[in-house]
């Protein structure tokens, strides 16, 4: 059976249990055909309050209510689950956390983790204005690609990372890019689709982009438009606003044809030596 790719969109609140309940409710209602890859948005577990409030729910890697629940959901519904991001503790710091994206397989085993590398320290012409993610978040350093999945080579990145093509070049050939995000309304309207499409075209891979999508309790506006792109840069499916899911079937044969007809990886004169 061909794998299913699923992007789950949320309008998360500052309550981890409530958000986890919504994740499970959406997956249960979808009744995904397996094998299935479900990607959650950035900050899925806690969003809509002050960034530093995430410290109150930060967990040590490998233990905690949020991680236990994610593992349970993945196993119960037989899906691979890309957890969006959640705050994880830093042993040497108490005032910052890391934005960790965990990947659980269909047995509930955490197969990989990624810490967001590029932090959103920018000015945006919206009702928030100034974003300074580095004040509360420590950037990660490692590139995360999982080789042995039902979806081929799976690469993981988060939100602002999408603007930095060097990261994706360093991943080597991937079959699927999972991208949790919390793109703002303003930046999303300008750049969300062009960036996702560009990554799908240059990497000749599927892009599963799960975004936050609506107005949050602190007035922050996120763009939504969670979607899936093919390895040819086609927009396969999209949900505009509010909580919900979109899905698409992954076609390995089509990926192979695209790469054989246009062997970008072989032609690339600037291939990374990292992979």
Rounded to whole angstroms, the Cα distance separating 151 from 172 reads 16
Q: The tokens 């107005």 sit on which residue?
A: 215
27: tokens are: 């997956």
Is 75 a residue of the active site? no
DSSP 54: G
79: tokens are: 């899906």
> Exactly one of 89, 116, 138, 203 is catalytic; which is it?
116
Is 142 a residue of the active site? no
Please answer whether residues 53 and 127 qualify as being in contact, where contact means their C-beta atoms are separated by less than 8 angstroms: no
> Exactly one of 89, 101, 138, 159 is catalytic; which is it?
159
Is 42 a residue of the active site? yes
CA dist list (Å): 76 to 31, 52, 101, 146: 11, 32, 20, 22
> Exactly one of 42, 89, 138, 203 is catalytic; which is it?
42
Please answer whether residues 176 and 229 qualify as being in contact, where contact means their C-beta atoms are separated by less than 8 angstroms: no
- Pick from 203, 179, 259: which is nearest to 5 by CA? 179
User: CB atoms < 10 A from the CB of 216, how many?
Assistant: 18
Phi, psi of 122 (to 5 degrees): -145, 170
CA dist list (Å): 241 to 48, 159, 220, 223: 16, 17, 14, 7
Phi, psi of 223 (to 5 degrees): -80, -30
Q: Hey, which residues are catalytic here?
A: 42, 116, 159
């Amino acid at each position: 059976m061909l794998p299913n790719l699923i992007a789950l969109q949320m309008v998360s609140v500052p309550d981890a249990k409530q958000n986890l309940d919504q994740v499970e409710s959406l997956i249960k209602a979808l009744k995904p055909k397996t094998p299935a890859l479900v990607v959650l948005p950035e900050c899925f577990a806690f969003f809509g309050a002050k960034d530093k409030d995430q410290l109150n729910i930060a967990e040590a890697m490998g233990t905690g209510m949020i991680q236990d629940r994610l593992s349970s959901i993945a196993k119960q519904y037989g899906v691979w689950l890309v957890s969006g991001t959640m705050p994880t503790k830093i042993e040497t710091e108490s005032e910052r956390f890391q934005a960790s994206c965990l990947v659980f397989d269909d047995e509930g085993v955490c197969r990989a983790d990624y810490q967001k590398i590029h932090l959103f320290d920018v000015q945006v012409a919206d009702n928030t204005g100034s974003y300074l993610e580095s004040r509360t978040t420590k950037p990660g350093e490692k590139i995360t690609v999982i080789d042995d999945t039902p979806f081929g080579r799976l690469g993981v990145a988060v939100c602002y990372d999408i603007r930095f093509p060097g990261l994706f070049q360093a991943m080597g050939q991937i079959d699927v890019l999972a991208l949790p995000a919390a793109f703002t309304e303003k930046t999303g309207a300008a750049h969300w689709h062009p960036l996702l499409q560009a990554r799908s075209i240059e990497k000749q891979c599927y892009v599963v982009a799960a975004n936050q999508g609506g107005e949050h309790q602190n007035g922050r506006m996120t763009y939504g438009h969670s979607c899936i792109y093919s390895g040819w840069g086609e927009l396969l499916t999209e949900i505009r606003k509010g909580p919900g899911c979109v899905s698409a079937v992954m076609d390995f044969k089509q990926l192979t044809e695209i790469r054989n007809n246009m062997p970008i990886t072989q032609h690339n004169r600037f291939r990374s030596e990292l992979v």
